[in-house]
Chains A and B, each alone.
Chain A
Amino acid sequence: MTKFRRTLFGSVLIAGALAMTGAATAQDYPNRPIELIVTFGPGGGADVMGRQIAQILEADLGVSIPVTNVGGASGNAGLTRLRTSPADGYTMGTLISLTVASWASGIGDNTLDDFRVIGIVQSTPSFLFVASDSPFETAEQLLEHARANPGELTVATSGYGTQDDVALITMADQGVDMVNVPFSAPGERYAAPLGGHTDVIYEEPGDVGQFLESGEYRSLMIFAAERHPEFPDVPTAGELGLDMVYLNTFRTLAVPAATPDDVFARLEAAVIAATETDQWQAFCAQTYTCLEPLTGDAAQEEVNTFYHAIAAQLDD
């Protein structure tokens, strides 16, 4: 009897709690802190982005947004936590291109269907850079040398099975055969061309801004359909006669897939507003990642396209 009563009491309590959260969601979201799960450790690009936007969103949403770092398994540990959190808009997470690429390699138990992408807040094409003392002054010289000496030049990248890898494979298919040297620690990757350990580095400009400003890196080519406004002298891969699928490095904010529409709309509006603030504009200028914000279904579609491009390459 007591046991039955206890169970009954418990059920009523849970039902009551559920009803209350349900009511709160519909009426005055948000009314308590929103957790932002950064899916990588402190100090990385995703972390800096997350902390920057959390600070701006706090002002708009009127609640505090504590950042929690849950790193591991290429960002999947944090996403699993996000996926299994209540879909009430009180938990968001970072979802970045590296993690989406990892799904194509079979890492993690998350899929794109588990999440709703609020918006792509940072997106940047990648470049090929060389150190300032490199013999290659132009992209033509580099490509010519690579065509004449297949497998001789080395390129520092973030790993196998990433968009870096896909770009190099696509180039190799067109006769520009360079060796992929994966450096999973970003610091070691940036230092590789400077120390003369690799000939080239495949990288987004935002992460190596200090070397571009100081002139220690020379930009040879950009993997994008058009030239970059900040780098008007750098030719695109297409101009150099290469046929590429352009895969930008991107960072998004996402919530669990079952998040209600009205809550999602509130977050989407807040993210759009955040990217228009002066603080964000200064930040994205510093990291060369300014873009027209892509939110909602369009963002989801973009991430989906990226996933299939990587998966198709890995199937070959």
Chain B
Amino acid sequence: MASEMVLSKRLKNPGGAWFDAYVADGGYAAAKKVLTAMTPAQVIDEINKANLRGLGGAGFPTGKKWSFIPKDSPKPKYLVVNADEGEPGTFKDRYLLERDPHALIEGMLIAAYSIGCHKAYVYIRGEYIEPYRRFVRAIEEARKKGWIGEAVQGKWDWEVTVHRGAGAYICGEETALLSSLEGGKGFPRLKPPFPAISGLFASPTIVNNVETLCCVPPIIRNGAEWFAKIGTPKQGGTRLFSLSGHVEKPGLYEAPVSVTLRQLIEQQGGGVRGGKKLKAVVPGGISAKILTAAEIDVAMDFDSLTAAGTMAGSAGVIVMDESTCMVKALLTAAKFFAHESCGQCSPCREGPGRLYKIIQRVAAGQGRRQDLDVLLAVAGNMEGKTICVFADAAAWPIQSYIRKFRSEFEHHVETGTCELGHAYAHH
């Protein structure tokens, strides 16, 4: 697939992560340009024109988000980088942190300048030990080379603090992340107020994903038009797709956002493992509604996948072949959500645990006729009724797996066995 590389160009360079190699590849030229020749408004305008969308999964237009920072607020403004990559099936930010940390630092600097921020935080997933070490090393390099600290390019004071998470998936939700960063329990916050008005330490805050910020230097270097042209009319650029599951060549692949799911699986991933038939694909991390083999001719941009009834999410593509038991697959997803609900809102505290228990029974051959309807009802009752979208994310796999593979679930309930021969030893 011939395409422009925006993010992955440097990921394979041995030693390419460090400062000299980054500069040799044109690194920090964008930051220099921004600090010496552009106003914050011009930068935000450029990001808007590039159609850069939030690549953590929500797809909110980045330039628009930056423009929400109130200009007249006497409070400090914060930039917080969401590097709490925890969506199952997703491992893109890990590569960026490990292999191109300066791209993130440069993107952060540009963002900080654009929103008037002098203090940035990077919240890194606790389990990401190596990415943390390498990113911190890059931070030290950048500080030594004058890209972090006082009067960067004679123009901008800023500092960066790197914070490690403690293992909760919910801290990837931006307001839970802020609660956690402040030292509190990782509980998502009621909105409004939105972080841009009252975020970290009750001050205006922009939370951006690692990949989103890594797109910023190339946009400044090559122009908004160049970036916008790579994608669709509403979403510019490329994405890093984390391809996993039953494909010949699982791994991280960059492609324009207009790539289809079929292209990703068949061309990038080398097709389904062992020549088996494709059964289902999760297109955007475990939360996204599952697609059947017949539904993969869909472009991977935010709007196309939403139109297809699922979501682009974190671009974590999980491929399942014909040998996959959907009950077992759902059991795995349900277990995850039962374990990770923060427990704040009643529906999401009690719902996922109950769903998991029911699926456990079904998987163990102790399903009851009414179980599938109870699963759908409970999932439906959680959806859209909570502070954050975790409950929705926990409901979607339940709803989509059962609706699209109902006969398989019914077989489990009625016969107590798996037609694919999977055996379970729960209970």
Partners in one complex: no
Chain A residues at the B interface, C-beta cutoff of 8 Å: none
